[in-house]
Amino acid sequence: MSLIKQMPAGRQPIKTRVVEEKYRAKAEQFARERIAAGEQIFVVAPLIDPSDILGIESATEIFERLSKETFAQSRVRLVHGRVNPKERAEIMEQMRRGEIDVLVATAVIEVGVDIPRATVMWIEGAERFGLAQLHQFRGRVGRSDKQSYCFLFSKSRSGFAQQRLALMEKTSDGFLLAEKDLEMRGAGEMWGTIQSGFSDVEFLRSIELETWERAKKAAEQLMSRETVLNQYSGVMKQLERFENELHRE
């Protein structure tokens, strides 16, 4: 496995900002200016429906607010996991064709979305997502030569939450963000349903990046053609036979 650290030719680094509530109106005005310039916006929320327990806005609430107030003059649509696949695909196609200005969504847009005219990723309740997931969302914009932006909104006053989000401003390295998130939030249970927190399995706490690097080098050495030919010739012959049979089919 190799890491691609260079950006594709013609792309600009995405500018990421954690936006305080007192600056929300300025961010909204900036977003309207991007729409006026012919660009598109993703707005991501962690929930589909309202929740009195969590106290954060849902995608449906945000859609109602944005379509009636903030972006009342724009074409705003909503997509989430309960929208049937056919309709969801049509909404995404409309976004690609530039027929939607603002798409409010849940995590369904995390991967597999390529909209070159989308230049703003607007994430509500950002503290509810892992850093790796936020990085995936951020990657949905910045897919052309235009300057793109990622705005992170959080009403949480937790210093821990703010510290995590600040990392998004400092780096665009997805591996580093995933490593930091694991370090800060914990891996959760190895066997169970808890997806964060520090595991009671002691060895999970002691894994360091150097260990992974050693494992990576060992795997590369093991899989080098010379090693396979010299030490695992039987395996190599079986793989070649399988490959030939596969191509004949």
Q: What is the pLDDT of residues 174-207, one digit of tens each?
A: 889 988 888 876 654 544 554 455 454 445 545 5
- Hey, which residues does 42 pair with through a beta bridge? 103, 121
Q: Over the range 180-193, which residues count as b (16 or more CB within 10 Å of their CB) and which as e?
A: bbbeebbbeeeeee
Alpha-carbon distance 62 to 122, whole Å?
A: 11
Lowest mean pLDDT among 12-16, 88-92, 181-185: 181-185
Residues 6+ apart with CB under 8 A from 114: 96, 143
Quick one: which of 174, 182, 177, 155 has its CA closest to 166? 177
Phi, psi angle pair for 20, to nearest 5°:
-75, 155
Give the pLDDT score at 220. 74
Model-level pTM?
A: 0.74
Domain with CATH 3.40.50.300 in the chain: 15-172
pLDDT at position 24 over 70: yes
Q: Classify 149 as helix, strand or coil.
A: strand
Three-state SS string over 237-249 comes to: HHHHHHHHHHHHC
At 78 the three-state DSSP class reads strand
Q: What is the pLDDT of residue 5?
A: 61
Q: Which residues contact 21 (CB under 8 A, 6 or more apart)?
A: 153, 155
Which CATH homologous superfamily contains domain 15-172? Answer: P-loop containing nucleotide triphosphate hydrolases (3.40.50.300)
Cβ pair 152, 123 in contact under 8 A: yes
Model confidence at 249, in pLDDT bands (50, 70, 90)? very low
**Integer-rounded Cα radius of gyration of the chain:** 22
Q: Distance (Å, rounded) from C-alpha 116 to C-alpha 131? A: 23
